[in-house]
Amino acid sequence: MTAIYCDDYPNVFHWKAVSEFTLEQAALLLAGIDPFDFEQGLESAKITNHPRWKLAYGYALAIETAIRRGILTPVVCNTYFYDEYNSNWIVQKIEPSDRSHNISCEHTVITRNSLNQWVSNENIILVLPNSARKIDPPIIKKDNSCNDQSIIKMLSPHIHHSEGLDLTQEIIDQFWVTYDEENKQTAPTKDEIITYLTSKGVSKNLAEAVDMVLRPFELRKVGRRKKGVTY
């Protein structure tokens, strides 16, 4: 998730239990602005020149567009207009697809769940407090002058070493790197491993032990087969 972090993020704990918002309230909250601090909503944030008022307006337009496109479904979609005949302001329910009327940010309602889903699906950039920053774990950079083994040695005060471990690594490099779990035929046979190791002067007992350690239980009786041979 991408985020913008700020120092002046308000305490919005009192909004945690609210499950429905007007489009205007949602836009302000996404911009890190407490709607209770601005009685006239978006217009108040603009008039007082809040540092993120433009961001709030941008969120409002984005939510309105999402409603128009059917990506975000409102609980109720209303328009707000001045009725000249009755000299009065009217709130009227409309269909989200009705583009003959403007969607009222102040009177259109959406749910917290639908808002969260939209934010997640559209990867909306959120405004968060600095305290929400995640501290990345330290990265150990690999020095080009060092190989992997030397790095391991630097990280550990003691590394155990034995001839048997060397042999297991050699068998992994020679036989098991090409093994495909979805194709058991690609596994080396026990005889291949034993023959390879004993040809290097390794005792048969040690060779069998190396093979047993590296071979998955399901392959103890299965290995690479010659062409024409089936299980």
**pLDDT of amino acid 154:** 45
**pLDDT of amino acid 220:** 74
Helix H, strand E, coil C: the string for the chain is CCEEEECCCCCCHHHCCCCEEEHHHHHHHHCCCCHHHCCCCHHHHHHCCCCCHHHHHHHHHHHHHHHHCCCCCCCECEEEEEECCCCEEEEEECCCCCCCCCCCCCCCEEEHHHHHHHHHHCCCCEEEEHHHCCCCCCCCCCCCCCCHHHHHHHHCCCCCCCHHHHHHHHHHHHHHCCCECCEHHHCCCHHHHHHHHHCCCCCHHHHHHHHHHHCCHHHCCCCCCCCCCCC
Cα 109 from Cα 223, distance rounded (Å): 64
* Rg of the chain over all Cα atoms, to the nearest angstrom: 33
**pLDDT of amino acid 175:** 83
**pLDDT of amino acid 152:** 43
State how beta strands 88-93 and 109-111 pair.
Answer: unpaired
Residues 150, 152, 158, 163, CA torsion sign: negative
**pLDDT of amino acid 230:** 42
State how beta strands 78-83 and 126-129 pair.
Answer: unpaired
25 near 45, Cβ under 8 Å?
Answer: no
* Average pLDDT for runs of 10 along the chain of length 231: 85 90 95 93 94 95 94 93 87 91 94 90 88 63 51 49 81 79 82 89 90 85 49 41
Cα 126 from Cα 140, distance rounded (Å): 30
